Chains A and B, each alone.
Chain A
Amino acid sequence: MKLSNDADIKQTITRVKDLLNHLENDQIEDAEKVLEDFSIKDNGDLFSEIGKLTRNLHEALSSFNLDSKITDIAASEIPSAKDRLNYVIERTEEAANQTMDMVENCSRMADTLSSDSQELLVEWQKLYKRELAAGEFRKLCKRIESHFKKSTKTSDDLHKALSDVLLAQSYQDLTGQAIKEVISLVHEVEESMVNIIKVFGDMDKYHEAKGKVVKRKEAEGPIVNKDKRDDVVNGQDEVDDLLSSLGF
């Protein structure tokens, strides 16, 4: 029974008066009819409330169904994301080691080339200073010839090693693809979590927390959002400035 406005109240007063009249005049059937009207009207309100609740429940359930995706995510997508990230670690480590192998080879080749040239230069300068005996000149020519041959070979080897270094960088493409997959999964998880908060949680708190930058006290490795942080240094110069301000 609604008594929310004047019309309702007036209508109810009229009906109660009718009911009393009918009862005082022994018009039992008429009195019963008035009572029946009351209860039908009440049930009508009840039914519409139940209707609303059912609709809400249905919406909640269907949005929760949407998040049955979460089962798939937890059961297979997260484990496969871990595999992907491990793959990234393996490929980058492999590429770093391959590159360093080649760089070390190249350094050795360059060192040999340089020391051979140095030695020959000393001999060659002896020639100018007329310190070279006649027989030694022939030997020097032979050595220079073999140095030229060796240099050509070393240059080819260097070139080959450098193109291997170049090729080793293909890890960037492969790992980039694997990381993109993981990023899109993280995005999906985020959406599902927001849906759950919408249905069961507090969206205001969510929006409030969204702007916060989480600062951790312990070691956290490279800082990836330096522009949003005011508690970190930007590069070696700032480290040096900070340390010298401390009297270092």
Chain B
Amino acid sequence: MDKNMKILVVDDFSTMRRIVKNLLRDLGFNNTHEADDGLTALPMLKTGNFDFLVTDWNMPGMQGIDLLKAVRADEKIKTLPVLMVTAESKREQIIEAAQAGVNGYIVKPFTAGTLSEKLNKIFERIES
């Protein structure tokens, strides 16, 4: 796993973005960027050469699930690995995210261990 990979963290709460960025830094990832909803994130993703997307679900503007679908629908960025970190815990939502092609799903509140485990799993699969 390339520790210099470019990561976009999307959440409407700045505290949550900060928590995720801090946890990623502890795991050795320093090349992290932020957006506060799908509408700001999507143009960044389209032009920014990101390697990984961590997104919340429930956000004003464009929700995380719609961002995921927009990414999968865009020829240039459709293979981007996406990890959802969200408080949404309805079974049908988790299934919807899986069907939309999410690579990992973490429910809030979560631990540093869970984040690290899911990251490893996602990149093991991609690299294998």
Taking beta carbons and an 8 Å cutoff, which residues of A are in contact with B?
93, 96-97, 100, 103-104, 219-223, 226, 231-236, 239, 242-243, 246, 248
Some 14 contacts from A to B, beta carbons below 8 A apart, are A93-B14, A96-B15, A97-B15, A97-B18, A103-B22, A104-B22, A221-B87, A222-B87, A222-B108, A233-B107, A239-B89, A239-B94, A239-B106, A242-B94
Given A219-B58, A236-B110, also A100-B89 (CB < 8 A): no
| Interface assignment of B51: CB less than 8 Å from any CB of chain A | no
Complex Cα distance A49/B89, Å? 59
Q: Which residues of A contact B105 (CB under 8 A)?
A: 239, 243
Pairwise interchain contact B91-A236, C-beta atoms closer than 8 A: no
**A102 to chain B: closest CB distance in Å?**
12
Taking beta carbons and an 8 Å cutoff, which residues of B are in contact with A?
13-15, 18-19, 22, 57-58, 63, 65, 87-95, 98, 105-108, 110, 114
Q: Which residues of A contact B90 (CB under 8 A)?
A: 220, 223, 231-233
Pairwise interchain contact B58-A231, C-beta atoms closer than 8 A: no
Pairwise interchain contact B15-A100, C-beta atoms closer than 8 A: yes
Which has the most chain B C-beta neighbours within 10 Å: A222, A223, A235? A222
Pairwise interchain contact B18-A100, C-beta atoms closer than 8 A: yes
Q: Which residues of B contact A100 (CB under 8 A)?
A: 15, 18-19, 22
**B54 to chain A: closest CB distance in Å?**
16
Given A93-B15, A104-B22, A239-B107, also A233-B91 (CB < 8 A): yes
Complex Cα distance A104/B22, Å? 8
